[in-house]
Structure 1
């Protein structure tokens, strides 16, 4: 447990605008900065859902010209970052707008690094603290309730040459403003609601249990856990339910704030190796792996899992029973939103050894509440594939 004598810092560079309809504040924000040309970073799903039309009206109102890079993959690639940055330079972009889920937002952050610094390649910025100075304004408009990327200052990008996910992290990458509007999620497909919602729950649970948590991230993570666990199923079953969508959006936002000022743990290390190796959706990987990692971690954070179980509405008589209840509740939520099992992903056990090595080398492994070796990761991958270890 944390004590009040443990020092920490908490920096929040992003202005948060939250609420139904808040996306309409974008023209005023752009006008206040004197911005006349922007680069919009998005993906094909956003185009298909006609959400770019909403942005077009807002940019027209603000008398802002824009170019659109719309080819972001579910796992954004370094090549996409570099192509989009070239588009931004060629069109004279003064700012970047990210429209979409975590993939376009992460891509846009990395794009802004190259665009602002006049660089061609994102690889040299891998790691922490490699961005040397402030960047151009970045505005984020999330369309899912999952990643919290709209308020974080890191970006996870696929290194296509080496087939793994690299992280670029710097406070300079934080968006200038995040327009967090639940109405932008009302038409989200149910399977995306499921995977991104469980992704947000993963962020909250890991932020609360890693060994670098702090009192502010704890408060955010617990509130996020309560909101998400209470509203995910309704948002999944009734996609147009604004109250449920709003609770999910707020929960995702709070979870993003929590883990960006704490960290994530072994779930993300495994999901990033899985997604980087096999190009699987990050949120889905997190969601499926979560209960298996919780089972492994339980001996190291029993009391914290019990506190999370309380936030999820569980009743229990001891910390041990509470920890078990938390894991059971996560499994129950996954079933209620019909997530596939790990073995149903297009994955072969032959890949586990390599992915275990990648997971162990992830920078967030050191934050996991229970130390994990390559062999530990391998064992959890095998348990997840067999469907064992969470009953």
Structure 2
């Protein structure tokens, strides 16, 4: 067997109704909490109010930062950190999807260190033990951020999307309560659900994988293929929300110890240059081209994936099924309403080379079974356009 290392310090509390424990959990880490969310809308306001009241009932003093945006920026982390300092917060609670949880982690660093969160990217300075503890309460089945040491952040001035990556920003505790996900609209459920697949599958082809990652990743992949189309048809089904929440948690555990590959590096670049494009949407755009490029270099994994997505391939060997992997991905993306191109999200055609160059800034593409050259990356972007 291939040797591997696995580490997961986040306490995972999973189950319908478990959000009710949020007060006593936060109380273990501090008395003054900053709750970090997106702006309230009709679907989310009751949930935000409920969680804040649970914290107050436990004797926690609460401040609420509610200005997180999709693809959170350095401005978001700066404003959140300012409020955390004013409130004298000693614990940060990220309530929402990946954007809120990632912003909470960045705020936990910026509120306790000199400079901005951008100064603590994975290749810059390292956060210290002064980092405030983070509690995460996930409300989407998407990014896995509730169990990772990653905080993705965008610098709009530099048109760059990058990440803090450090063990100190693992959430101390995460609550995964599928009941909180039943009000999610399909336009959020679909891209976040596809992101779960991407995390799991890219971990399964990552050089840092091992037996434990394989176990988690393939269960997550099977759950997404089976239950994402079903939850889009029945959004209020607790059973389907539980299955997707479990897949998301498994996939998050995978990327925390293995990681992502070429599609994520490209997806991050798209989000950095075009912040209006959701992360899962960017991944859906590049996956067919990335699959065509990579499948021959990892035929066992791509064949297994293709057979899960397309039952007509089930009698083929993995090597033969891998030849149909791109078709299987396209078929699945159409099934969940996520098949589109860069031209569909208003990317200018004359940005192709600039985007290709940005796709090679993060090292994710180097973890791919087949590593793209500069010219091949340009062709990948063209194929996705």
- Report TM bin, short chain: over 0.9
Q: Deviations over 1:296-324 (max 9, x none)?
A: 11111011112334555741322233224
Q: Once structures 1 and 2 are overlaid, which stretch shifts more, 195-204 or 305-314?
A: 305-314
User: Pick from 275, 295, 301: which aligns with 1:298?
Assistant: 295
Alignment correspondent of 2:44: 49
Q: Deviations over 1:192-245 (max 9, x none)?
A: 111111111111111111222222111111010011110001101110111111
| In structure 1, distance between residues paired with 2:192 and 2:362 | 22
Q: Once structures 1 and 2 are overlaid, which stretch shifts more, 124-133 or 164-173?
A: 124-133
1:61 matched to 2:57? The reply is yes
Q: Once structures 1 and 2 are overlaid, which stretch shifts more, 280-289 or 302-311?
A: 302-311
| In structure 1, distance between residues paired with 2:264 and 2:288 | 12
Structure 2 spans left out of the alignment, 5+ residues: none
Once superposed, which parts of structure 1, at least 4 consecutive aligned residues long, lie more than 4 Å away? 45-48, 310-313
Alignment correspondent of 1:284: 281
Alignment correspondent of 1:388: none
8 Å contact kept, 1:102–1:147: yes
8 Å contact kept, 1:306–1:326: yes
1:26 matched to 2:22? The reply is yes
1:38 matched to 2:37? The reply is no
Q: Once structures 1 and 2 are overlaid, which stretch shifts more, 168-177 or 63-72?
A: 63-72
| In structure 1, distance between residues paired with 2:325 and 2:57 | 48
Per-residue deviation, 1:86: 1.1
* Count of residues paired in the alignment: 379
1:146 matched to 2:158? The reply is no
Per-residue deviation, 1:109: 0.7
User: Pick from 148, 169, 183: which aligns with 2:165?
Assistant: 169
Q: Deviations over 1:100-150 (max 9, x none)?
A: 1111111111111112x3323122211157123363221101111111011
8 Å contact kept, 1:209–1:369: yes
Structure 1 spans left out of the alignment, 5+ residues: 386-391
Per-residue deviation, 1:48: 5.4
Q: Deviations over 1:304-363 (max 9, x none)?
A: 112334555741322233224543332222111212511311112211111111111212
Query: What is the SS of the residue equivalent to 1:127?
Result: coil
Give me the CA root mean square deviation. Answer: 1.7
Q: Once structures 1 and 2 are overlaid, which stretch shifts more, 374-383 or 84-93?
A: 374-383
Alignment correspondent of 1:373: 373
1:363 matched to 2:363? The reply is yes
Per-residue deviation, 1:47: 7.0
8 Å contact kept, 1:163–1:276: yes
8 Å contact kept, 2:310–2:328: no
Change in CA separation of 1:336 and 1:219 when aligned onto 2, cut-off 3 Å: same
| In structure 1, distance between residues paired with 2:148 and 2:109 | 14
Alignment correspondent of 1:242: 238
8 Å contact kept, 2:113–2:130: no
| In structure 2, distance between residues paired with 1:101 and 1:274 | 19
| In structure 1, distance between residues paired with 2:322 and 2:231 | 26
1:220 matched to 2:219? The reply is no
| In structure 2, distance between residues paired with 1:316 and 1:81 | 51
Change in CA separation of 1:46 and 1:29 when aligned onto 2, cut-off 3 Å: farther
TM-score, with length taken from structure 1 = 0.93
Map of 1:95-174 to 2, 5 A cutoff?
Answer: 95-115=91-111, 117-128=112-123, 130-133=126-129, 135-174=131-170
Change in CA separation of 1:45 and 1:323 when aligned onto 2, cut-off 3 Å: farther
| In structure 2, distance between residues paired with 1:28 and 1:41 | 18
8 Å contact kept, 1:359–1:374: no
